[in-house]
Amino acid sequence: MAVVFLCLSTAALPAAAQDSAKARILILFDTSGSMTWAVDGSETNGDGSGDPWNSRFCCPGIGFSRLHIAKNAMTKMIDATGDIEFALMKFPQDYDPDQDFAVEAPWYKYNQEAGEVDLLRYQGLTGAFDAGLNLYDYSAVFTDSRTYLCETFTAGNADEIKDWFDNHEYESDGTPSLSLYGSPFDEPGTPDMTEQELRADGGTPLGEAINAAYDFMDDAKAADTHPLAACRPWYLLVLADGDYDGFIHPVTGENLGGGDAAMGVDQLRDNLDVETWVVGLAAASTTLDQMADAGGCHYDPARSFNRTPHAAASNDTDNCSEYLDGDAGQAFLANSRESLTNILYHIISSSVLSEHSCDGVDNDCDGLTDEGFTLYCNWDGLTPPHPACGNIVCRSGRDGL
């Protein structure tokens, strides 16, 4: 005889849950030169930081840069949750810890010497420019992960990631800074975690970066040995302030320069089951919307739109309109520190696992099913039960459980 279960919420929770497999989010952070601009597109001549560099100083500008706003909001996001594991990736840059080898960064001006371009130890990597396509060939600058991978998924690495957002490279005496947060973890490619900071210099290789994110996530999922790894959700969170300027299309992975195809947001979702959240910082574009659409149909409820879903246009079986009432996915749009903070809060709230419904599924990935709900064995599935009707509560190991 089949047994039908009804679930009702209760405060009692079983104590036998395993350590849950937390959701994992890879942050892809735009470090193009335009991140030194204010949200209105005006130049700030810096990124809002204020590090003493011996005889020089780096690099506050007039304040309120997109980079400074984004780093502040990301720090708040990470501080707000312990139920998600993060990793961090940026656009590729060369880095030299020696101040004597710093190079001119035209986005940074007048902070170190009056009337002069500042020197920066991070230099954006671009590659050959194709005038016909009006795009850059970034193929040679994504060969070394140390130029773009900041932090991997490591338990307890929140302080390490925040160290990239703290606007701080040097101590007051001009010596290299150790972490303000005292994190014990090493950054990729260096023997310690000194001088790590996000700086804005270079182009916007979104497609190439997403291809690198695909490789990283593929390896990370293969190396995930958690007993509950099969139910762990994975996400890519893209923060960008403009459209892509490289050969690789960030949605399809198509190589517009005629070379080998790469992996885009489409493949992240279809092959790896990784969904993508997209946030445009002072930027909205068709490409960013298509990325959000193909990456899981997430959309910004604060924006109005009416367009054909990318998935439908590409004959993709994962059509957004099938489960979002016809609304296509769309990138979030942030135009202030407050709006970006609110958007990131929405994304995190939507990504944290919880036993949100009684459905026979381990929704919070802790090895238990429907904990927090009372199971009734003799419900007919139709009539709303009531204690006066003599409903029987199922017991573990008995009554069909």
Torsion of CA 135, 141, 142, 144, to 10 degrees: -170
- Residue closest to 233 by CA, chosen among 358, 368, 347: 347
Q: What is the pLDDT along the chain (401 residues), one digit of tens a residue?
A: 333 334 444 333 343 445 777 889 999 999 999 999 999 999 999 999 877 766 667 889 998 999 999 999 999 999 988 788 999 999 999 887 676 778 899 999 998 888 999 988 889 998 899 999 999 999 999 998 888 988 889 888 888 888 889 888 766 555 655 544 444 434 444 434 455 789 999 999 999 999 999 999 999 999 999 888 888 889 999 999 999 999 999 999 999 999 998 999 999 999 999 999 999 999 989 999 899 988 888 877 776 554 444 444 444 445 554 434 444 678 999 999 999 999 999 888 876 655 555 555 655 566 566 555 555 555 444 455 444 444 444 444 333 33
Q: What angle do CA 164, 180, 66 make, to 5 degrees?
A: 35
The two three-digit tokens of residue 134, written as one number: 């009006």
Computed on alpha carbons and rounded to an integer, the radius of gyration of the chain in Å comes to 24
Indicate the DSSP class of residue 357.
Answer: S
Q: What is the pLDDT of residue 280?
A: 95
H or E segment and range at residue 350: helix 337-351
Give the DSSP letter string of 27-59: EEE---GGGGB-TTS-B-SS-S--EEETTEEE-
Beta-ladder partners of 375: 7
Q: 10 Å Cβ neighbour count for 339?
A: 18
Q: What is the pLDDT of residue 27?
A: 97
Indicate the DSSP class of residue 393.
Answer: B
Question: Rounded to an integer, what distance in angstroms lies between the CA atom of residue 115 and that of residue 321?
Answer: 54
Q: What is the pLDDT of residue 223?
A: 94
- How many Å separate Cα 72 from the centre of its chain? 15
Torsion of CA 363, 364, 365, 370, to 10 degrees: -60
CATH fit for domain 21-44+62-95+124-352, picks 2.60.40.2230, 3.40.50.410, 3.40.50.1970, 3.40.630.10: 3.40.50.410
Q: What is the pLDDT of residue 194?
A: 52
Question: Rounded to an integer, what distance in angstroms lies between the CA atom of residue 300 and that of residue 112?
Answer: 40
Torsion of CA 273, 274, 280, 281, to 10 degrees: 170
Report pTM.
0.81
Question: Rounded to an integer, what distance in angstroms lies between the CA atom of residue 351 and that of residue 331?
Answer: 16
Question: Rounded to an integer, what distance in angstroms lies between the CA atom of residue 221 and that of residue 87?
Answer: 13
Domain spans of the chain, in order of start: 1-17+366-401, 21-44+62-95+124-352
Write the CB contacts of 154 (distance below 8 Å, at least 6 apart in sequence): 160, 185
Phi, psi dihedrals of residue 337, rounded to the nearest 5°: -60, -40
Q: What is the pLDDT of residue 390?
A: 42
- Residue closest to 153 by CA, chosen among 249, 86, 99, 108: 86
Instruction: Identify whether the C-beta of residue 273 lies closer than 8 Å to the C-beta of residue 232.
Output: no
Q: 10 Å Cβ neighbour count for 113?
A: 13
3-state DSSP call for residue 74?
Answer: helix
